[in-house]
Chains A and B, each alone.
Chain A
Amino acid sequence: MQIYVKAKGSWNGEVRFYIDDNGNEQVITLSPIKGNPLKSVLLDWHRIYYYRVPEECYSLMLTYGGIKAKEYLVKFIGTKYRDIKDIVPLKYNNRWILYIVGEKYSLPYYVMGDGFKNTLVYLMLLSSIHNTILLLEEPELHQHPSLLELVATAVVTSSIKSKNQIFISTHSLEFTDMIIKELESYNALNKLNVYRFNLENGILSTVNYSGVEARDARRELEYDLRG
Chain B
Amino acid sequence: MIILLLVEGVTDKIFYEALLKKLYHMSKEDLYVLPNEFIRFINNVKGLSREEERRRRISILKLKDNNVIIIGCGGFKPLTTFLGLFLKYEKVDVLIKKGLKCIIVIMDRDHNPVEVIRSKLASLNIEYSFSNNSFYLKEHGLLIMCIAQGLLHSRSTDQLEDYVKYIASKHYTSIARALQVLKRVLKEGLILNNYL
Which residues of A come within 8 Å of B, CB atoms?
A: 1-2, 198, 205, 207, 209, 213, 216-217, 220-224, 227
Contacts and interface: CB of A to CB of B under 8 A. Distances in A.
B44 interface: yes
Interface in B170-186: none
Contacts of B82: 221
Interface string B68-90: 00000111011001101100111
A221 B85 contact: yes
Given A216-B84, A224-B43, 6 more contacts: A209-B88, A216-B77, A220-B74, A220-B81, A221-B48, A222-B45
Contacts of B125: 1
B141 to A, nearest CB: 16
A221 B88 contact: no
A224 B77 contact: no
A221 B78 contact: yes
Contacts of B98: none
Contacts of A209: 88
Chain B interface, >50% SS class: helix
Contacts of A213: 81, 84-85
Contacts of B75: 220
Contact of B90 (A207, A216, A220, A224): A207
A222 B90 contact: no
Chain A interface, >50% SS class: mixed
A222 B46 contact: yes
A94 B45 CA distance: 56
A97 to B, nearest CB: 44
Contacts of B78: 220-221
Contacts of A198: 90
A224 B44 contact: yes
Contacts of A224: 43-46
A171 to B, nearest CB: 14
Given A198-B90, A205-B90, A207-B88, A223 B77 contact: no
Nearest to A216: B81
A223 B84 contact: no
A216 B82 CA distance: 9
A110 to B, nearest CB: 39
B85 A217 contact: yes
B58 to A, nearest CB: 13
25 contacts: A1-B125, A198-B90, A205-B90, A207-B88, A207-B90, A209-B88, A213-B84, A216-B84, A217-B85, A220-B47, A220-B77, A221-B45, A221-B74, A221-B78, A221-B81, A221-B82, A222-B45, A222-B46, A222-B47, A223-B44, A223-B45, A223-B46, A224-B43, A224-B45, A227-B44
